[in-house]
Amino acid sequence: MSAAARLSSAAVRRALQVAAVEYAVHGWPVVPVSFFDGRNYVCVQADCFEQTLHPVWRLWHDRASADPKVVAAWFRMLTVSVGIRTGVVFDVVSLPEVAATRVQGVLEERRTPTPVAVWRERGRRLFWVARDLPWRPALGRLDARVSSRDGWVPAPPTPTRHGPVQWAVEPAQTEWGIVQHADFLAAAASVQ
Ligand SMILES: [Zn+2]
């Protein structure tokens, strides 16, 4: 590996740590996930060769933490990316890119914005929504997937084969506020 590549890898790791600690400070439960090193997804388990993003611990649910000190230590000791446990503080709804940009536009128009991340590797955007979102047919028509209890999602700036997961709407833009069920479902229904 060249010195420049090592440097950029250190910068990426630093950016991941800063982001993870900021999520924890705001009460988001962080879970370390595999790290894309430019060629492969690397896990902390030596016998794991899973070539996707995944939590690096098999029993990770109870280890997800919103303690900034704990999270900072993980990212200092391990080469990992940022996952967020869902269903505890909020759910996360993923929508295919085209539907997602329309829903995002409606939420902004109606002044009920919420954090939105772009997961290019999956061709989807992730919407942070109040937890225990009830299922509605409008969600099915948009091919929505809800990550709730027992789930997790990657958070920016987690690197992937198709570039880093990025914010389309940063949490700071909504003052870390998260959209309520009725507002999200109304936006989803409006773009059918
Ligand atoms: Zn693994």
Cα–Cα distance for residue pair 11/34, rounded to 1 Å: 17
Is the Cα torsion angle 188, 189, 190, 192 positive or negative in sign? positive
Ligand 1 centre and the CA of 7: distance in Å?
A: 25
Q: What is the residue range of 46's domain?
A: 3-190
Tens-place pLDDT, residues 35-81: 999 999 999 998 998 999 999 999 999 999 999 999 999 999 999 99
User: For the segment 109-124, what is each residue's pLDDT rounded down to a tens digit?
Assistant: 999 999 999 999 999 9
Give the C-alpha separation, 186 to 178, whole Å.
Answer: 15
Structural tokens at position 93: 């709804």
Quote the number of domains for the chain: 1
For a pLDDT cut of 90, what percent of the chain falls above it?
Answer: 93
User: What is the distance in A from the centroid of ligand 1 to the CA of 148?
Assistant: 21
Distance 81 CA to ligand 1 centre (A): 12
